[in-house]
Homo-oligomer: A and B are copies of this chain.
């Protein structure tokens, strides 16, 4: 799989994970189906839209590429329809949130590097992409953001994005470094819970 396809696949997977997390949170607040879809899409694409605005990639991919919308809608509808399935997963919001965090930390950093920006921008925008959606979710749901509680959250995104950027500078193989970065971020986040 070449770099571009790897990036797109991971980015859509992160979109799906965050959309599930947003949809579950929205459903738990008693929103109707449209509200669930809207929050799922906002959470899933919020971080990426912030990143794209910061690197001048307008209009943001989350808005132009129908696949992001389709993936977010599928995740939202799955959450509504397959309630029993989602409930059985022990902590679905937290699990999918950790997966999305890792995926977006990596793809956020990748996209900034693809656009030719320096290592600092790549790491910072990896974090922004990863925590942006969750921040938007928590701000909209009017609760204290997860990032502000005593948990490893943005720091896990920092580690994931840093692995990706340092690995790229050291010339590691693209898919190899990506899986390492992804696993490091996810493990750090999930094990801290």
Interface string of A74-93 (1 = CB under 8 A from B): 00000000000000000000
List which A127-175 residues lie within 8 A (CB) of chain B: 135, 139-145, 147-148, 150, 152, 154-155, 158
Which of A5-13, A99-107, A118-126, A179-187 is the contact stretch? A118-126
Tell me what chain A mostly uses at the interface: helix, strand, loop, or mixed.
Answer: helix
Chain B residue numbers with a CB within 8 Å of A148 are 26, 29, 31, 35, 39, 140-141
Whether A31 lies near B150 (C-beta < 8 A) is yes
Q: A148-B35, A154-B38 are in contact. Are A53 and B64 (CB under 8 A)?
A: no
Chain A: residues with Cβ within 8 Å of the partner, total of 43
Give the complex CA separation of A31 and B39 in angstroms: 27
Q: A56-B58, A144-B142 are in contact. Are A120 and B69 (CB under 8 A)?
A: yes
Whether A147 lies near B53 (C-beta < 8 A) is no
Q: A54-B58, A58-B55, A148-B29 are in contact. Are A63 and B140 (CB under 8 A)?
A: no
> Which residues of A approach B to under 8 Å, CB–CB?
26, 29-32, 34-35, 38-39, 49, 53-56, 58-60, 63-64, 66, 69, 112, 117-118, 120-121, 124-125, 135, 139-145, 147-148, 150, 152, 154-155, 158
